Amino acid sequence: MQKETELDEKERRREMREKRRKFADILSLSGDPVLAARLTGLQPCECGDILDKKAIRRKVNRYLQNRREMYGTVRSGLERIAFNRCNDAVKLAFSGKEGAEIEDLDLSCISAIKRDKDGGVDMKFFDRQRALETLMQLDEAESSCSGAEEFLAAVTQKNFEAEGGGEDES
């Protein structure tokens, strides 16, 4: 009887570890602690207890940091498409530059370039409006990331205060 109880307890702990891991994964991807709790079968009030675990907070923070870095890279590329001038592309089309001279041109606005059989140049440009729309969507996604960071900060502060204002373990 006692062995069965011990096995049940081990299984319950294993399931809880798995829920904590899933919660951290979903929180870091969605930025929504309520959604993460719902999808892992937890009550929102249990989330603070899960985030009391130093390893879980570190994992979520690492995910959020990687996400911020990715947003920065994507944002930079989209801003180049949306706001850069196309003067160098026009210069290329009309000058017929070759080889090393092309390396000095900023052609980030061009999505495709072909030379036709008559020697002409066919250029396709990125859609600036679509880049701007994608930037707007990126802003929304970044704000959800900020929501997760605010949630983590609030939980950490609550734990810090509950411990009597001692050194925070994060």
- Supply the pLDDT for residue 149: 64
Indicate the DSSP class of residue 81.
Answer: H
Q: Do residues 148 and 64 make contact, with C-beta atoms less than 8 angstroms apart?
A: yes
Q: What is the DSSP string of 133-160?
A: HHHHHHHHHHHHHHHHHHHHHHHHHHHH
Q: Do residues 131 and 81 make contact, with C-beta atoms less than 8 angstroms apart?
A: yes
Residue type at 89?
A
Strands (E), 44-139: 110-115, 121-125
Model confidence pTM above 0.75: no
Determine the Cα–Cα distance for residues 75 and 107; give it in Å rounded to an integer: 18
Q: What is the DSSP string of 19-61?
A: HHHHHHHHHHHH--HHHHHHHHT--HHHHHHHHTSHHHHHHHH
Express each pLDDT in 38-75 by its tens digit: 888 887 777 777 777 777 777 777 877 887 788 888 88
Q: Do residues 147 and 31 make contact, with C-beta atoms less than 8 angstroms apart?
A: yes
Q: In terms of Cα–Cα distance, which of 82, 77, 105 is closest to 92?
A: 105
Express each pLDDT in 108-160 by its tens digit: 889 998 888 887 778 899 999 999 999 988 888 777 666 666 666 665 555 54
Q: Please return the burial class of 13, using the count of CB atoms within 10 Å of its CB with bins 0-12, 13-18 and 19+.
A: exposed
